[in-house]
Amino acid sequence: MKLNLIIPIAFFSCLFVCQTFALTKDGRDEILSQLDISIKKSGYVNACGNAVVPDINRIDLDKFGRKLFFQVVVEDSKCYGASNSEISLFLSEENGFHLVLNSSGKMINVMPTQHKGMFDIQVLGAGIAPPAVWQWDGIQYR
C-alpha cells in the first residue's frame, strides 16, 4: 500500500516542480552574450570575429528537474589561442542565466554520484588525459 502512494505523490509533486522549458530567443541571446558571441548577417561570431555555431541544449543535473541547466558547445572556437571546442554550463535563475562551468571539451557526461543535490559531471573531449570529475558546490561546478 505504501508503494502505491509514493508514485501518485511523486507524479503530483512533479506537476509543480518538473518543467518543460524551451529556451526563448532572449534567453539564448543572454547566454551567447556572456560568451562574447554575437549575431552578424553571416551568422554567429565569437569575440575574435570567427564564425561559430553554438549548440545550446538543456541538461538535467538533478533528480527532480528543479534547476534548469543549459550546456553550450562551441566547436573549434579558435579565439585567444584556443583551438579546441569550448563547453559552458549555465544555470537559469529568476534574475537571468549564470555561468557555472566553462572548459575545453565537446560533451558533458553526467555521473551517478552527487554533491549538494546535483549530479557530478565530466567534460569529455578536452584532450588525452582522463577527464576530471566536476562537483557542484552550491553555486558552481568546481
Q: What is the pLDDT of residues 56-91, one digit of tens each?
A: 999 999 877 788 999 999 987 677 666 678 899 999
- Provide the number of structural domains found in the chain: 1
What's the grid cell of residue 51? 564564425
Whether residue 115 is contained in a domain is answered as yes
Report the distance separating Cα 34 and Cα 45, nearest Å: 13
The SS3 of residue 65 is coil
105 domain-assigned: yes
Which pLDDT score is estimated for 10?
A: 40
Q: What is the mean pLDDT of the chain?
A: 83
At 45 the pLDDT is: 93
pLDDT tops 90 at residue 15: no
Does the pLDDT value for residue 2 go beyond 60?
Answer: no
Could you tell me the residue range of the domain that residue 130 belongs to?
Answer: 55-134
Looking at residues 41-68, what average pLDDT do you find? Answer: 90
Residue 5 lies in a domain: no
Distance CA(12)–CA(73), nearest Å, equals 34
pLDDT tens by residue, 84-122 = 788 999 999 999 999 999 998 889 999 999 999 999 999
Q: Do the domain assignments include residue 126?
A: yes
Q: Which of 84, 83, 67, 74 is nearest to 141 (CA)?
A: 67
For residues 42 and 100, which has the higher predicted lDDT (pLDDT)?
Answer: 100
- In the chain, the amino acid numbered 98 is H
Domain-embedded: residue 32: no
Residue 42 belongs to a domain: no
Residue 23 lies in a domain: no
pTM for this model (two decimals): 0.81
Q: What's the pLDDT at 128?
A: 78
Note whether residue 141 is domain-resident.
no
pLDDT at 139 over 50: yes
Q: What is the pLDDT of residue 21?
A: 64
